[in-house]
Amino acid sequence: MDQSSIKLQLPEAPRDFGFFVNGKTVPAGDREVFERHSPAHDVPVTRLPQCTAADLDDAVAAARTAFADRRWSGLSGADRAAVLLKAADGIRARLEEIAYWEALESGKPIAQLRGEVGGCVGMFEYAAGLARSLHGDSFNNLGEGMFGVVTREPVGVVGIITPWNFPFLILCERVPYVLASGNSIVAKPSEFTSASAVILGEILTEAGLPEGVFNVVTGIGATVGQAMAEHHDVDMLSFTGSTRTGRAIVAAAGASNFKKLGLELGGKNPQIVFADADLEDAADGVAFGIGFNGGQCCVSGARLIVEASVAEKFAQMVADKMAKITVGDPLDETTQIGAITTDAQNTTILGYIEQGKSEGAELVLGGDVMDMGAGQFIAPTIFGNVTRDMAIAREEIFGPVLTVTPFQTLDEAIEIANDTDYGLAASVWTKNIDKALTVTRRVQAGRFWVNTTLAGGPELPIGGFKQSGWGREAGAMGVEEYTQVKSTHIEIGKRNHWIG
Ligand code: NDP
């Protein structure tokens, strides 16, 4: 698609996408088709095939054949890196197209998406370096007669199930790292936001990835996703989504082939603000931490835990910031928060807002839908006087809803922060280095931010403590997770005989 032909206006007709197997786009044929309506405009924007379990079998078979004949895993790291670098160029070249269709399917702002897709270029570039630097270990200290080598091998066929909140970004936090060591992939994007995964298939093939190494099966989680979790020929599965579905995946893996799992699940992430913080900076950061992507991030900073002496003043500073966020049309380049992506999520968020009101929390800001003429939009919302037992303080809302809970002492702040089943991310705002370090050491979270929030990039690994998941994605660990470790003992010279 010619990039210059993309205009920031609604398409005249929904675009048809296929799914992607063995290096080729497969049209829907006589399969059922999903028609995705833009959650911001209520018009159909894309059409994608509803694949069946038989389609999944075909994709897994293609990935298995590609893995078994070593067309990718047998290449040198340098050759794999060359393909990943070309894919980075391909993403750069089609950035506007990916951002446009994802804005329509997800309701995210176009300006935000350009940044996200640009970040994915960096993921491929960084993983290309890792393809060349991945290595094992050796033991030269086992005596004159023995040498030990530890090598890393790709796991095999890797399934990747992704959610609707960061369709392209979450995929690209996994795909280049999984490919770096030589695995084959079958991806199952969310039924609501599948287009960008299919475009990635085209980009990878154009970059020279051999056929069958990357496949995309579009379809419904409860059927195709569940079948992937149960599949005996999928060696590892990376799942990102709700903790509820994560439990089903663990059960399915245990009941089938004990496939290795990577899980990135929910979060209820604290933003701890001390009175000695740069409060202007912190207020902007807290507003960004909950407002970005309409709060539909697993790492959203949803719980503001603020020192009591400044709690009221600081909550007002955050409210002033959040009241200025531009909510609106995702295709408008000035929009900061777009639509709520799914109807179910919209209902869930509004339900929690009602629950917050009925539980006795104080509504400081927002608390209602925003009428934009079409689509589903929710005003940035803050609840004050939130106690730890309230559902809005304990459960993942996954929307632009911030709760405010004051604390008196550092120990109490840490206790409140850890009083959750989750452990995905946390932020601390203070100019006191001792407090910052004490909090980062004692709060249980896989990602931590000090005097900033939601920072990221390809270098640092991501993942959660507690019920937020297993394993790590991205960084060097993001490649190592998708390898098996093999230990080899090598006899030098003649063995001491056991018999005679
Ligand atoms: P899900 O966990 O249902 O969906 C995530 C992915 O899993 C989608 O691709 C989905 O497919 C697929 N899926 C659904 N059921 C199964 C299954 N039985 N086996 C295998 N795959 C399956 O999340 P929801 O979209 O329902 O969101 C619900 C809640 O999850 C949110 O409110 C939020 O709290 C949390 N969430 C967390 C995310 C995170 O980044 N950690 C991301 C998204 C949601 P399909 O789209 O077809 O259903």
| Strand pairing category for 19-21 and 24-26 | antiparallel
Tell me the pLDDT band of 47, cut-offs 50, 70 and 90.
Answer: very high
Return the pLDDT at 6. Answer: 83
CA 480 to ligand 1 center in whole angstroms: 25
| Of 19, 190, 394, best ligand 1 pocket probe by most atoms within 8 Å of the beta carbon | 190
Cα dist from 27 to 22, 177, 194, whole Å: 13, 28, 14
For the Cβ of 396 lying below 6 angstroms from any atom of ligand 1, the answer is yes
Task: Please give the class, per CATH, of domain 3-265+468-486.
Answer: alpha beta
H-run or E-run covering 390 = none
Give the separation between CA 478 and CA 463, rounded to whole angstroms. 10
Return the pLDDT at 291. Answer: 98
Superfamily of domain covering 270-450:
Aldehyde Dehydrogenase; Chain A, domain 2 (3.40.309.10)
Give the separation between CA 286 and CA 135, rounded to whole angstroms. 40
For the Cβ of 230 lying below 6 angstroms from any atom of ligand 1, the answer is no
Return the pLDDT at 97. Answer: 97
Q: Do 41 and 375 form a contact (C-beta atoms < 8 A)?
A: yes
| Of 245, 297, 401, 468, best ligand 1 pocket probe by most atoms within 8 Å of the beta carbon | 245
pLDDT at 74 over 70: yes
Tell me the pLDDT band of 43, cut-offs 50, 70 and 90.
Answer: very high
- Other beta carbons within 10 Å of 141: 8
pLDDT at 1 over 70: no
For the Cβ of 55 lying below 6 angstroms from any atom of ligand 1, the answer is no
CA 425 to ligand 1 center in whole angstroms: 19
HSE at residue 2, side-chain half, CA atoms within 13 A, is 3
For the Cβ of 242 lying below 6 angstroms from any atom of ligand 1, the answer is yes
CA 160 to ligand 1 center in whole angstroms: 12
> Is 298 designated active site?
yes
Q: What share of the chain is helix, strand, coil (3-state, %, to 5)?
A: 40, 20, 40
Q: Do 388 and 406 form a contact (C-beta atoms < 8 A)?
A: no
pLDDT digit string, tens, across residues 425-467: 999 999 999 999 999 999 999 999 999 999 999 999 999 999 9
- For the chain, the domains span 3-265+468-486, 270-450
Active-site pick, 102, 125, 191, 264: 264
Q: Do 103 and 39 form a contact (C-beta atoms < 8 A)?
A: no
Q: Do 437 and 431 form a contact (C-beta atoms < 8 A)?
A: no
> Is 264 designated active site?
yes
366: three-class secondary structure by DSSP: coil
Give the separation between CA 377 and CA 329, rounded to whole angstroms. 10
- Select from 381, 393, 383, 382 the least CA-distant residue to 361: 383
Report which protein residue has its CA nearest ligand 1's atom 32. Answer: 398
Return the pLDDT at 76. Answer: 98
Tell me the pLDDT band of 5, cut-offs 50, 70 and 90.
Answer: confident
For the Cβ of 229 lying below 6 angstroms from any atom of ligand 1, the answer is yes
Q: Do 250 and 76 form a contact (C-beta atoms < 8 A)?
A: no
Q: Do 238 and 159 form a contact (C-beta atoms < 8 A)?
A: yes
Lowest mean pLDDT among 200-204, 317-321, 496-500: 496-500
pLDDT at 165 over 80: yes
Torsion of CA 320, 326, 327, 330, to 10 degrees: -160
Tokens at 33, concatenated: 């088709």
Reading phi first (left if > 0) and then psi (alpha if -120 to 50, else beta), residue 208 is in left
Q: Which atom of ligand 1 is nearest to the CA of 264?
A: 41
Return the pLDDT at 379. Answer: 98
pLDDT digit string, tens, across residues 209-230: 999 999 999 999 999 999 999 9
CA 124 to chain centre: 15
Report which protein residue has its CA nearest ligand 1's atom 16. Answer: 221
Torsion of CA 85, 88, 89, 93, to 10 degrees: 170
Report which protein residue has its CA nearest ligand 1's atom 26. Answer: 242
pLDDT digit string, tens, across residues 87-103: 999 999 999 999 999 99
pLDDT at 3 over 80: no
- Percent of the chain scoring above 90 in pLDDT: 98
| Of 36, 108, 161, 230, best ligand 1 pocket probe by most atoms within 8 Å of the beta carbon | 161
Q: Which atom of ligand 1 is nearest to the CA of 164?
A: 43
Active-site pick, 298, 307, 396, 481: 298
- Length of the chain as a residue count: 500
pLDDT at 119 over 90: yes
CA 26 to ligand 1 center in whole angstroms: 25
Tell me the pLDDT band of 251, cut-offs 50, 70 and 90.
Answer: very high
H-run or E-run covering 392 = helix 391-394
For the Cβ of 222 lying below 6 angstroms from any atom of ligand 1, the answer is yes
